[in-house]
Amino acid sequence: MVARALSFGAVAEAYERFRPGYPVEILELVTAYAGQPIRTALEIGAGTGKATRLFAQGGIAVTATDPDAAMLAELRKHLPADVTTVQAAFEDLPLDSSYDLVYSAAALHWTNPEGRWDRMAALVRPGGVFASFGAPNGLADPTVREAVRAARSPYLEDDGVPSPDGTPADRPMQWPGTELQHSEWFTDVRQVIIERRLTMTAHDYVGHLSTISAYVMLPPADRDEVFRRILRVLPETVELNAELHAHLARRVPRAERP
């Protein structure tokens, strides 16, 4: 998992080009949930800044962190200079500052589960907000989806990341909400799904796949062959089920901790 988590720097420019951004509905959701002004935010696993720009444009002072220097270098090309960047893994961040909001966009699953919520609680000020969100970006058409699975199967049976705590996909509450519900540090856990569909060309979809860790980790020759196979079975354009899964929780004020 560590190797996969640190694999994205090799495809930083493609990540910025082909990964979808986040809609303003995410900012509105988090702001409404907070119920008070959010002045400072810490981002875990900022990557090339897909979510960073959303919160920075909302007038929030964002500190964007990522363990990969190449990803942060790409982020700096596209974001204003007043966005603070820190090259560090979540586990290595100093705990001497706390924020109104700590959030992670499609990156929390790369963090170490041991002590995850104790460390998170130290970074969120009491009464502040934690948010995690991401989208599966899977092919909407089941026939096309099966054709792609068959095309890649000789080299890669599964290109996703399993639920970090093993929660089955049919459960009402998904990870990380499942963990947050059992944390003494957080309360008012909510799960929100924002419906979204995206359309892109077949070549852009393969570009998107080139930024997914399961493909990045393949030997180059195998990766090239997988992409050739996938392109052969794709229509000219594809539709993605890109619904956003958001989880929100509030840091328990000190006086309310058991």
What's residue 5's pLDDT? 46
Contacts of 48 (CB under 8 A, 6+ apart): 12, 15, 16, 19, 71, 74, 75, 78
Residues 29-42: what's their mean pLDDT?
98
| Rounded-to-integer distance, Cα 125 and Cα 118, Å | 12
| Rounded-to-integer distance, Cα 176 and Cα 173, Å | 9
pLDDT at 244 over 80: yes
What's residue 10's pLDDT? 78
Q: What percent of the chain has pLDDT over 70?
A: 95
Looking at the DSSP bridge assignments, the partners of residue 84 are: 63
Estimate the crossing angle of helix 220-233 against helix 202-209, to 10 degrees.
Answer: 150
CATH 3.40.50.150, applies to 2-138+160-198+242-256: yes
What pTM was estimated for this model as a whole?
0.93
| Rounded-to-integer distance, Cα 258 and Cα 28, Å | 31
Q: pLDDT tens digits for 140-179? A: 999 999 999 999 999 999 998 889 999 999 999 999 999 9
| Rounded-to-integer distance, Cα 221 and Cα 58, Å | 43
Pick from 93, 96, 63, 77: nearest CA to 15? 77
